[in-house]
Structure 1
Amino acid sequence: MATSGTSGVFAREYDAIERAVEVGFAGGRVIAVSFPEEVPADADGDHDLLDRVGEYLRGDRETFGDVEVGLTVPTDRRRVLEALREVPYGESTSVSRLARLAGLDDNDAEDVGLVKEALRENPIPVLLPDHRVEGGPYATPGDVRESLRRVEGL
């Protein structure tokens, strides 16, 4: 999805999660997603990505794979979050399997700790679907996570 230089904050409320989804862009890349109780006053509600989030929440098999993201996290966490993005819609994975997908040793406590840290600090939930990981931790709030899991049949 080309957003050609889009910068700013966009948000819209969605009944399916009983919250808003707020998306921050810089230079055409998504750099943050959050779930405030209400749409912030300074947020614009008109963006194609918000339309797609609405379609996803209504049950469309949206993967957001074409959305450009700008991860400003250390390389080791980036590798975990990029692996997370590869977990297919409607499928779940374990922390151990995600470690392996990221090229880490799921029997090494430090590697598993790195995976958990990356999940907990995920700056772009939904696009980087931490709700698909069984047993977390999660950046996505619990009530939102359960709604997303329900949408995907998990």
Structure 2
Amino acid sequence: MISATYTVHPTPVGDALLVFTDEGLVALHVTHDDGDDALAALSLALRTLPGRDDVVDGDLRRQLDEYFEGSRRTFEVTLDWRLTRGFTREALEAVREIPYARVASYGEVAAMAGRARAARAVGTACATTPWSIVVPVHRVVRSDGSMGEYGGHPEVKRFLLDLEAAAGE
């Protein structure tokens, strides 16, 4: 049986639900309403109900605060990849290579992941990522440069891109 804990950390774009297993961060979801739905979905995916632990991984919470203050450009956290498989993982690993304050198109990420014609699959990987912010799917844009939906919250994507652009100057 897998053991998991979670905490909720406030950010300027909404509360971040942080879920950890013994192997690392298994999910980071920004909740825009009630985080109970996200926690329930993760519980089903993990086949366990994570216990609340408000002192879990203070280091990641500090890193998130630093990111939103504009002083952190990368995250140092071990990821538990159990919720990703196949090309989704390859695409998300490629996304992690996009430099801070830069963007890449879905097609460029597909090429980075070794499948130049898999832009739509990259879109699916970004839309279903278990990690918001620490795996910077907000840096992936459409081929025409437009932002896209970002889980129905394009304003969050715009906020993150503007934050990085301002801090990158």
Among 127, 145, 159, the residue aligned to 1:147:
159
Q: Secondary structure at the match of 1:32?
A: strand
Tell whether the 8 Å contact from 1:123 to 1:139 is kept in structure 2 after alignment: no
Q: Of the candidates 48, 51, 63, which is equivalent to residue 52 of structure 1?
A: 63
Contact 1:79 1:102 in 2 (8 A): yes
Q: Which amino acid aligns with 1:122?
A: T
> For residue 125 of structure 1, what is the aligned residue in structure 2?
132
Whether the 8 Å CA contact 2:30–2:132 is kept in 1: the answer is no
Task: Name the SS of the counterpart of 1:51 in structure 2.
Answer: helix
Change (3 A) 1:118 1:37: closer
Write 1 or 2 for the structure with the bigger share of helix. 2
Moved more, 128-137 or 81-90: 128-137
Query: What is the 5 A alignment of 1:4-153?
Result: 7-14=4-11, 16-17=12-13, 19-37=14-32, 43-46=52-55, 47-64=58-75, 66-71=76-81, 72-105=83-116, 108=117, 111-135=118-142, 136=148, 138-139=150-151, 141-153=153-165
Residue 47 of structure 2 corresponds to: none
Q: How many residues align?
A: 142
**Alignment partner of 1:86: what SS?**
coil
TM norm structure 1: 0.80
Aligned partners of 2:20 and 2:155: how far apart in 1?
25
Return the offset for 1:114.
Answer: 1.2
Task: Provide the aligned C-alpha RMSD in A.
Answer: 2.4
Between the aligned residues of both structures, percent identity stands at 25
- The residue aligned with 2:43 is none
Residue 3 of structure 1 corresponds to which residue in structure 2? none
Indicate how the Cα distance of structure 1 residues 139 and 38 shifts in structure 2: closer, same or farther if over 3 A, else same: closer
Cα deviations across residues 31-72 of structure 1 (Å, max 9, x unaligned)?
1111124786974444210111011001113311x3111122
Q: Flag structure 1 segments of 5+ consecutive residues without an equivalent.
A: 1-5
| Alignment gaps of 5+ in structure 2 | 37-50, 143-147
C-alpha separation in 2, matches of 1:23 and 1:38: 15
Taking structure 2 as the reference length, what is the TM-score of the superposition?
A: 0.73
- Residue pair 2:109, 2:119 contacting (<8 A) in 1 also: no
Is the Cα–Cα contact under 8 Å of residues 68 and 163 in structure 2 kept in the other structure?
Answer: yes
